[in-house]
């Protein structure tokens, strides 16, 4: 089975879930609802998902919305049917070229794997159109496909580029997802710009984990976004990206400060937790933080007095653990204004 955390995703908060949990335990205690509004993989929202609370998750990217829905929404599905489909897909070998193999074969995936990926995606589309699977089952199959191919992609973990070396024809295997819909009864999942969604929701805890530099997530994950949307757009350049203008984040541009201020002003919640990296202006240009600490504190102060919690984190480099002075930080505000 695939766990929600079994995906390579830039800036995922898998390794600091305990850190977040301790802050919530010490500063808040019991809560009824938590909104993970820049959810990415959804590991944070999922970590706090319990039968009696409400978890709201949201992401601008459609393929994230699909996996958030697959793992965290309340809709029912037929597990036996999915297992049978997964088994059929895993045993299939595709011979025909398709949109995916023409554009991504021999690049991010071997020619054979790319044919199989495109074929499976087309089958999922047909199964849904012919009413053989429901929406939840479609979401589960698409997520299983994304999680399985992520493990064999010829990349360093994202799709800004592929590695130019001889391609292995590694086998990929779809699996069922580990999801418990009994826990999901109150949850809500969205695919919106956080700055629009914030006006429509209320929650006890608002967890914010926006991108902090100019690297657009729509660039880093364009292949999975393209495969999930399956609108077969024209792709460009060496990296074979589609036109992503509509899914670019304001948080990766100079507009980040304004967007953040607008988000904080409109938040209807009791507590705000913000993750924002401390790379500051130490790294190369692309990794420079878009919002300075002074601006973060000034803006959070509009709603209450911020506290900062820090934890060193380990950086993994080519399999070796390398400690440096990077710190994961959480800004915490009890909303009083
Ligand atoms: C740092 S990542 C979140 C990682 C996540 N906490 C995890 O553990 O997987 C930031 C996420 O914000 C999303 N995003 C960027 N701009 C957004 C916006 N305006 N509204 C909603 N989501 C946005 C990106 O697609 C990305 O998935």
User: 167 CA distance to ligand 1 centroid (A)?
Assistant: 31
Q: Decide if 228 contacts 39 (C-beta within 8 A).
A: no
User: What does the alpha-carbon distance between residue 13 and residue 316 come to, in Å, rounded to a whole number?
Assistant: 14
Q: What region, left, alpha or beta, does residue 304 occupy, with left being phi > 0 and alpha being psi -120 to 50 degrees?
A: left
For the cut 90, the answer to whether the pLDDT of residue 169 exceeds it is no
Q: Looking at the CA of residue 259, tell me the nearest atom of ligand 1.
A: 19
Tell the burial category of 154 from Cβ atoms under 10 Å away from its Cβ (0-12, 13-18, 19+). Answer: buried
Q: Best substitution site from 12, 34, 59 to test ligand 1's pocket, by max atoms within 8 Å of Cβ?
A: 59
**How does pLDDT run across 84-97, given as a tens digit for each residue?**
999 999 999 999 99
User: What does the alpha-carbon distance between residue 17 and residue 80 come to, in Å, rounded to a whole number?
Assistant: 32
> How sure is the predictor about 317, in pLDDT bands with cuts at 50, 70 and 90?
very low
**How does pLDDT run across 29-47, given as a tens digit for each residue?**
999 999 999 999 999 999 9
**Residue 164, pLDDT score:** 81
Alpha helices in the chain (DSSP H): 17-27, 43-47, 62-72, 79-91, 99-104, 111-129, 135-150, 194-197, 217-220, 222-229, 256-266, 293-300
Q: Looking at the CA of residue 40, tell me the nearest atom of ligand 1.
A: 27
Q: Decide if 189 contacts 72 (C-beta within 8 A).
A: yes
Sheet holding 307-317, edge to edge: 188-190, 54-58, 33-36, 203-208, 269-275, 320-334, 307-317
**How does pLDDT run across 286-307, given as a tens digit for each residue?**
778 999 999 999 999 999 999 9
For the cut 80, the answer to whether the pLDDT of residue 319 exceeds it is no
> How sure is the predictor about 327, in pLDDT bands with cuts at 50, 70 and 90?
confident
- Domains of the chain in start order, with CATH, are 14-334 (3.40.50.150)
Q: Does the Cβ of 109 fall within 6 Å of ligand 1?
A: no
**How does pLDDT run across 75-124, given as a tens digit for each residue?**
999 999 999 999 999 999 999 999 999 999 999 999 999 999 999 999 99
Q: Best substitution site from 38, 150, 220, 328 to test ligand 1's pocket, by max atoms within 8 Å of Cβ?
A: 38
For the cut 70, the answer to whether the pLDDT of residue 56 exceeds it is yes
Q: Does the Cβ of 12 fall within 6 Å of ligand 1?
A: yes
Q: What is the mean pLDDT of the chain?
A: 93
**How does pLDDT run across 203-226, given as a tens digit for each residue?**
999 999 999 999 999 999 999 999
């Amino acid at each position: 089975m695939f766990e929600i955390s079994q995906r390579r995703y830039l800036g995922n908060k898998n390794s600091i879930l305990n850190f977040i949990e301790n802050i919530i335990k010490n500063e808040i205690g019991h809560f009824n609802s938590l909104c993970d509004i820049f959810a990415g993989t959804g590991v944070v929202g999922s970590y706090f998902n319990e039968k009696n609370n409400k978890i709201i998750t949201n992401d601008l990217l459609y393929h994230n919305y699909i996996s958030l829905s697959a793992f965290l929404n309340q809709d029912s599905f037929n597990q036996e049917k999915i297992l049978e489909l997964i088994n059929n897909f895993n045993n299939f070998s595709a011979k025909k070229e398709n949109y995916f193999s023409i554009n991504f074969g021999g690049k991010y995936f071997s020619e054979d794997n790319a044919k199989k990926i495109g074929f499976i995606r087309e089958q999922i589309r047909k199964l849904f159109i012919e009413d053989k699977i429901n929406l939840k089952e479609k979401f589960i199959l698409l997520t299983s496909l994304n999680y399985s191919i992520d493990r064999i992609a010829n990349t360093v973990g994202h799709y800004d580029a592929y590695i130019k070396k001889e391609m292995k024809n590694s086998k990929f295997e779809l699996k069922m997802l580990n999801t418990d819909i009994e826990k999901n009864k109150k949850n809500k999942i969205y695919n919106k710009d956080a700055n629009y969604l914030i006006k429509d929701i209320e929650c006890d805890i608002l967890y914010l984990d926006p991108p902090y530099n100019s690297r657009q997530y729509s660039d880093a994950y364009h292949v999975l976004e393209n495969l999930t949307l399956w609108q077969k757009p024209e792709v460009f350049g060496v990296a074979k990206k589609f036109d992503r203008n509509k899914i670019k984040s304001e948080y990766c541009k100079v507009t980040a400060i304004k967007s953040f201020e607008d988000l904080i002003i409109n938040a209807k919640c009791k507590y705000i937790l913000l993750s924002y990296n401390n790379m500051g202006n130490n790294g190369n240009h692309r990794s420079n933080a878009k919002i300075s600490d002074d601006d973060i504190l000034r803006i959070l102060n509009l709603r209450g007095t911020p506290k900062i919690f820090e934890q060193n984190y380990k950086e993994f480099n080519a399999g070796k653990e390398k400690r440096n002075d990077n710190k994961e930080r959480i800004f915490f505000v009890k909303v009083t204004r």
